[in-house]
Amino acid sequence: MKILFIGGTGTISAACTQLALARGFELTLLNRGRQPAWPGARQITADIANPAATAAALGSEHWDVVVDYIAFTPADVEQRINLFRGRTAQFIFISSASAYQKPPAHFPITESTPLVNPFWDYSRNKIACEERLLRALQEENFPVTIIRPSWTYDERRITVPVNSKKSFTVVDRLRRGQSVIVPGDGNSLWTMTHNTDFAKGLVGLLGHQGAIGHAFHITSDEVLTWNQIYESVAVAAGAPKPRLVHIASDFITACLPEFAGGLHGDKAHTAVFDNSKIKRFVPDFVATTRFRDGIARSVKWFETDPSRQEIDAEANASWDRLIAEYERGLEKALQEFGR
């Protein structure tokens, strides 16, 4: 099969590239070429945000499958519909599980859970993308399959909900025995998926004509609390027992509004998924990476090159400030209550 990935070298897509090549697919990657070219894949270097340059780079080729990892808005998918109309037998759109109803009214989350997220524009845009693509399916038989990943990580990211883009920052804090912020009581449930596990589901759907018109999430079946997740990161980092400061998401986002979408629209809610649909369509799909093992590999990746261990001093200062204010408030409350 002749496959095109738009992306192919990112957090989710790199593992799919690796597995698709291992399974012998003829794979082309379209991206801006900021990562080294992938051995075994054909490279098309283009910025998808430039429609004319992208159309010229793609020429009039036809594809068995196009997987688009980087469409975020209805305008993006409109461009893709125009670009691939009549030129692909399957178009896979990477949406997001954050599109599922928040707060969730029913567990576990299935693909029929309503798509309603009043808290995060990122998710509302993904919902609008899905709606536009399903309309294209109805009106012109555009062969869409929708994938909704939940938080999916690779070795280049330390995944805890209050962290910086320079994600080694939290490892450094844990190692220095500094407090780290955990949203809520840290007891809500979360599902963290390794990109190599996600890839098994995604690659299993490539060219699956029964999957046209269907949506799938692809996640691990390992369910952990945020406290367990922070503890696993601390163990992977060889840090002492972590000092977890539990702060309500409302309090965190009132002080640090940059976390509002990601917490209220996603990580402040329990996320437990029923993966039976992907297992029905891809019978050999099984997620095998436990978080404690995957995150240990991530810490190792950072350790093999000190230039990867960037620390976000500004984020550190604002977390210190938030923790200090929260603890001051608690002390004052204790005095007030005579405790």
* Binding positions for ligand NAP, rule: CB under 6 A: 7-13, 31-35, 47-49, 69-70, 94, 96, 149, 151-152
CB of 337 to ligand NAP, least distance (A): 41
C-alpha angle 75-67-216 in degrees, rounded to nearest 5: 95
Tell me which residue of 124, 159, 304, 165 sits closest to 232, measured CA to CA: 159
Cα-based distances in Å from 143 to 64, 208, 213, 234, 282: 11, 11, 7, 44, 19
CB of 178 to ligand NAP, least distance (A): 26
**Cβ closer to ligand NAP: 16 or 315?**
16
CB closest to ligand NAP, residue no: 10
**Cβ closer to ligand NAP: 251 or 301?**
301
CB of 237 to ligand NAP, least distance (A): 21
**Cβ closer to ligand NAP: 165 or 339?**
165
Cα-based distances in Å from 262 to 113, 192, 193, 312: 19, 15, 17, 19
Tell how strand 189-191 and strand 223-225 pair up.
Answer: antiparallel
Sequence-separated (6 or more) residues with CB below 8 Å from residue 278: 201, 204, 205, 216, 217, 218, 285
**Cβ closer to ligand NAP: 70 or 235?**
70
**Cβ closer to ligand NAP: 79 or 316?**
79
Token duo for residue 279 = 């297992």
Positions of E strands within the chain: 2-6, 26-31, 42-45, 65-68, 91-94, 144-148, 152-153, 180-183, 189-191, 193-194, 215-217, 223-225, 244-247
**Cβ closer to ligand NAP: 104 or 251?**
104
CB of 39 to ligand NAP, least distance (A): 15
CB of 124 to ligand NAP, least distance (A): 13
CB of 16 to ligand NAP, least distance (A): 9
- What's the rounded Cα separation, in Å, for the pair 21 and 165? 29
**Cβ closer to ligand NAP: 160 or 322?**
160
CB of 91 to ligand NAP, least distance (A): 14
Place of tokens 């919902």: 127
Check if the beta carbon of residue 223 is closer than 8 Å to that of residue 182: no
**Cβ closer to ligand NAP: 32 or 332?**
32
User: How many DSSP H helices and E strands does the chain contain?
Assistant: 12, 13
CB of 81 to ligand NAP, least distance (A): 16
